[in-house]
Amino acid sequence: MIIKEKPEWGELATFVPNKRLPVYNWFYYKEGYSRDMVLNVMKKFGMEKGDTVLDPFCGVGTTLLACKQSGMNSIGFDVQPPAVFASIVKTNDYEVDKLEAASKELLEEKFQKPDWGTVTPFVKKAFNGHTLDDVLFFRDLIMRMDDGPVRDFLTMALINVTMKCSYAWKDGAVIKIRKHPVPPLRKIFKRQLKYMIKDVKKFKSTDASCEVDFGDARKMKLKDDSVDAVITSPPYLNKIEYSKIYSIEEELFFSGMGLTPLRSHIGISESKMLEEEEKLRKITEDAVFNAQSIAYFSDMLKVISELKRVCKDGAKIAIIVGNGCFPDGVVDSDVILSKMAEHTGLTVKEIIMLSKRWCTRHRVEKVGVTRESLLCWEK
Ligand SMILES: C[S@@+](CC[C@H](N)C(=O)[O-])C[C@H]1O[C@@H](n2cnc3c(N)ncnc32)[C@H](O)[C@@H]1O
């Protein structure tokens, strides 16, 4: 398969450009990509207002939000509570008056000592006592509010400042606790609300619809032939598992929610492995698999079949994906997934390399080059 190059789109495959964008930046997501990547793909695909776009791994809703701004209807699924929540909050329609009134009322409430009953020792360690008191006090007040979008908006602001006022330090895939002076939560909560309301005022949206839900990309609750395009990015094979760095947010704000993620890390049972490997080898001919990649590609094969099922004839599919880096070499996910797409009956139009980097063993010994690529397919 021929691989083209577009290094000028490399940074757009990261969340970094979103940090400057109102609403897009309400929740930083390590695994996210940028609005401009979505806009570029839309242009490349010649998409039009009124089209329906699916993001089966929607993360914090970048595709969905870009669709809403561009007049395209969108549908998004994810398994992680903070991701689904952030996607919903960012794509909601708000009445500014209601947000302002609710924020004022909340900040005027007289403090009462909240119940720390369900907080685990780990989360207790991540805050000083006053901060945790304020977080729980505001959280419980917000949870009692009736208006759904207002409640979600205030919760988003609170999550944002909760993490800014914590001792938690997200270092790669792990949370480290580092005690240091933190700002008073109440003060920066007020500032955050003001800043987010300002974002709502200046954000140019359309009345395009957006549906977000918990859902597994391997089995989506969608009708056959119902979407015009897919713009997405699945988990990458053997990439650091970042889901644990949201465990404080999960415990304080989303306990008990969530579904099973795709197996980019979890193994597969011994007996099923040979069977799955044989199936994958038939599709990809020469590819060599280890246990981890068998689990991953078996899952992704299910996802690709689902994409074929829910796409209309002629629908365009964009997948941003990185290759797998292992101590014994690189697994070319971009090529393998494209072979799977062809096997499933989709047409592979292009594979475009966005960036590349060394894959190393023990951090120093180079074992190959991994690409991050944009895969363009069509049904
Ligand atoms: C690379 S991230 C996508 C980021 C997104 N493009 C953004 O900009 O925010 C992959 C996402 O897939 C989600 N995920 C993992 N397994 C899934 C599954 N089986 N079904 C749906 N989503 C899943 C993860 O929670 C994660 O949010």
Q: Cα of 277 to ligand 1 centre, how many Å? A: 24
Q: Cα of 135 to ligand 1 centre, how many Å? A: 28
Amino acid 63: pLDDT: 98
State if residue 233 touches ligand 1 by the CB under 6 angstroms criterion.
yes
State if residue 31 touches ligand 1 by the CB under 6 angstroms criterion.
yes
- Domain(s) of CATH 3.40.50.150: residues in the chain: 3-93+206-254+261-378
Q: Cα of 243 to ligand 1 centre, how many Å? A: 10
**Position 134: which residue type?**
D
The b-or-e profile of 100-109 (16+ CB within 10 A means b, else e) is eebbeebeee
CA distance 162 to 130: 12
Q: Cα of 210 to ligand 1 centre, how many Å? A: 17
Q: Cα of 81 to ligand 1 centre, how many Å? A: 11
Amino acid 269: pLDDT: 67
State if residue 57 touches ligand 1 by the CB under 6 angstroms criterion.
yes
Q: Which atom of ligand 1 is nearest to the CA of 262?
A: 16
Amino acid 284: pLDDT: 86
Burial of 80 (0-12, 13-18, 19+ CB in 10 A): buried
* 3-class SS of residue 59: coil
Burial of 279 (0-12, 13-18, 19+ CB in 10 A): middle
Q: Which atom of ligand 1 is nearest to the CA of 61?
A: 9
State if residue 235 touches ligand 1 by the CB under 6 angstroms criterion.
yes
Measured by CA distance, the residue closest to atom 12 of ligand 1 is: 57
State both tokens at 172. 């790669």
Put simply, whether the predicted model's pTM sits higher than 0.85 gets the answer: yes
State if residue 33 touches ligand 1 by the CB under 6 angstroms criterion.
yes
Q: Cα of 172 to ligand 1 centre, how many Å? A: 17
State if residue 59 touches ligand 1 by the CB under 6 angstroms criterion.
yes
CA distance 225 to 202: 36
CA distance 92 to 209: 10
Domain 3-93+206-254+261-378 CATH superfamily:
Vaccinia Virus protein VP39 (3.40.50.150)
Q: Which atom of ligand 1 is nearest to the CA of 62?
A: 8
Amino acid 261: pLDDT: 55
**DSSP code for 120:** -
Amino acid 256: pLDDT: 58
Mean pLDDT by 10 residues, the chain (379 residues): 94 94 91 95 97 97 98 95 93 96 96 92 96 96 92 95 93 87 95 97 94 94 98 89 82 71 56 82 80 89 97 98 92 95 97 96 89 98
Q: Cα of 58 to ligand 1 centre, how many Å? A: 6
Mutate to test the pocket of ligand 1, among 78, 238, 264, 305 (most ligand atoms within 8 A of CB): 78
State if residue 82 touches ligand 1 by the CB under 6 angstroms criterion.
no
State if residue 29 touches ligand 1 by the CB under 6 angstroms criterion.
yes
User: Cβ(126)–Cβ(166) under 8 Å?
Assistant: yes
Mutate to test the pocket of ligand 1, among 24, 31, 239 (most ligand atoms within 8 A of CB): 31
